[in-house]
């Protein structure tokens, strides 16, 4: 985000929890107005009006943006100064907070929930068809140009290849000694080849990724051949077709939660190994000097999720601007890690 590199002060951060249910839209807006009121009080007390009048004008204009207050995301973070304004939608819950000062509060941008790559689509693979759901809304959609019923693809495939069957007197005649079950298995293999080709193409051309779901006895047949495809962004070993929308949302959230746990453990392990090798610095002043000298490989901040240290956020922002890898982990009831850790080269 360009605004994060701006030197213009005061820098305004508004962190707002969002309740996506339609009746809550007015509640979201009221919470924003209250935070904005606190921001204006802070500005009026501490800064000349000319240094923030444009920022406040832009913040007030957001009140009319109804799409914001009906957002399907869990939170909004709004950054503003007299130069620009930017709105970020977050995937994790937050506590309402506003801050005016010399730095933006950026720690929420660096949580595992925000770095996990969400799939563009979820595909449920059944015995004779696939069902496609949009990754963001988890509502069923159609993929243009993709055969979703196996039979539709077989008809087109057979019309062009005549490999599987011939029609005599209006009936289908299965060739040779193959049973109908064997023919269906062969058709399944042919369709899976087609599906893998199409999903690979979408990934290569648009970067799309997919969660694959289905009954294990069906899904595993596909995964055994194509489970290592670059487009696979998660697997649910059960059918999702009988789930309500709320249940589906919860099921996908559980999948991402497992990814988050794995990511957190990986970051913690990295800090522990670096600390054993005496490559970790915790003193904030020393960290700032190391950042200025380009000695920092990555920056990791630990806290309980209820506090925003201005000094920590200033260092995190500095790292972001200098394109240094930085992460924030919220650990409940775990004080075994120093709050700020700079891993040196």
- Of 91, 20, 98, 97, nearest to 55 by C-alpha is 98
Q: For residues 139 and 60, what is the distance between their CA atoms, to the nearest angstrom?
A: 33
Q: Hey, what CATH topology would domain 121-242 get?
A: Nucleotidyltransferase; domain 5 (3.30.420)
Give span(s): CATH 3.30.960, the chain: 1-105
Q: What are the distances in angstroms from CA 257 to CA 26, 70, 252, 260?
A: 30, 24, 9, 5
Q: For residues 299 and 340, what is the distance between their CA atoms, to the nearest angstrom?
A: 7
Which CATH homologous superfamily contains domain 263-345? Answer: Ribosomal protein L30/S12 (3.30.1330.30)
Q: For residues 176 and 211, what is the distance between their CA atoms, to the nearest angstrom?
A: 38
Cα 81 to the chain's mean position, in Å?
27
Query: What is the token pair recorded at 24?
Result: 């809550």
- Local structure of residue 118 (DSSP, 8 states): P
pLDDT for residue 293:
95
Q: For residues 8 and 103, what is the distance between their CA atoms, to the nearest angstrom?
A: 10
Give span(s): CATH 3.30.1330.30, the chain: 263-345
DSSP annotation string for 155-219 = HHHHHHH--SEEEETTEEEE-TT--HHHHHHHHHHHHHHHHHHHHHHHHHHH---EEEE--HHHH
Helix (H, G, I), strand (E, B) or coil at 275: helix
Cα 8 to the chain's mean position, in Å?
30
pLDDT for residue 7:
95
pTM value? 0.76
Helix (H, G, I), strand (E, B) or coil at 68: helix
pLDDT of the chain along its 345 residues, tens only?
899 999 999 999 999 998 766 557 788 899 999 999 999 999 999 999 999 999 999 999 999 998 888 877 889 999 999 999 999 999 888 999 999 999 999 999 999 988 888 899 999 999 889 999 999 899 999 998 899 988 788 665 554 554 444 433 344 444 445 555 666 677 788 899 999 999 999 999 999 999 999 999 999 999 999 999 999 999 999 999 999 999 999 999 999 989 889 999 999 999 999 999 999 999 999 999 999 999 999 999 999 888 899 999 999 999 999 999 999 999 988 888 999 999 999
Give span(s): CATH 3.30.420, the chain: 121-242
pLDDT for residue 157:
54
Cβ 97 vs Cβ 15: under 8 Å? yes
Structural domain 1-105, CATH architecture? 2-Layer Sandwich (3.30)
């Amino acid at each position: 985000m360009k605004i994060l590199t701006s030197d213009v002060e005061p820098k305004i951060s508004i962190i707002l929890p969002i309740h996506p249910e339609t009746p809550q839209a007015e509640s979201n807006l009221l919470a924003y107005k209250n935070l904005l009121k606190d921001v204006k009080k802070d500005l009026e007390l501490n800064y000349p009006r000319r240094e923030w009048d444009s920022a406040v004008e832009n913040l007030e204009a957001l009140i009319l943006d109804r799409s914001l207050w009906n957002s399907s995301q869990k939170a909004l973070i709004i950054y503003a100064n007299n130069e620009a304004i930017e709105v970020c939608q977050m995937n994790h819950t937050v506590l309402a907070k506003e801050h005016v000062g010399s730095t933006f509060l950026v720690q929420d941008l660096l949580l595992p929930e925000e770095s996990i790559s969400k799939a563009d689509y979820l595909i449920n693979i059944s015995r004779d068809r696939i069902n496609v759901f949009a990754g963001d809304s988890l509502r069923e959609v159609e993929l243009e140009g993709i055969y979703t019923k196996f039979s539709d693809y077989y008809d087109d495939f057979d019309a062009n290849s005549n490999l599987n069957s011939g029609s005599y007197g209006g009936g289908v005649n299965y060739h040779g000694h193959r049973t109908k079950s064997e023919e269906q298995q062969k058709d399944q293999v042919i369709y899976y080849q087609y599906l893998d080709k199409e999903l690979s193409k979408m990934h290569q051309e648009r970067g799309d990724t997919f969660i694959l779901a289905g009954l294990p006895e069906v899904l595993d047949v596909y995964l055994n051949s194509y489970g290592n495809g670059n487009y696979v962004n998660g697997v649910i070993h059960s059918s999702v077709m009988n789930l309500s929308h709320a249940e589906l949302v919860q099921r996908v959230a559980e999948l991402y939660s497992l990814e988050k746990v794995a990511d957190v453990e990986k970051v913690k392990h990295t800090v522990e190994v670096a600390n054993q090798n005496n490559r970790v610095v915790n003193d904030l002043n020393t960290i700032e000097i190391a950042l200025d000298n380009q000695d920092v490989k990555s920056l990791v901040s630990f806290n309980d999720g209820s506090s925003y240290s201005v000094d920590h956020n200033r260092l995190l922002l500095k790292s972001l601007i200098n394109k240094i890898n930085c992460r924030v982990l919220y650990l409940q009831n775990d004080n075994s890690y120093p709050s700020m850790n700079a891993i040196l080269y």
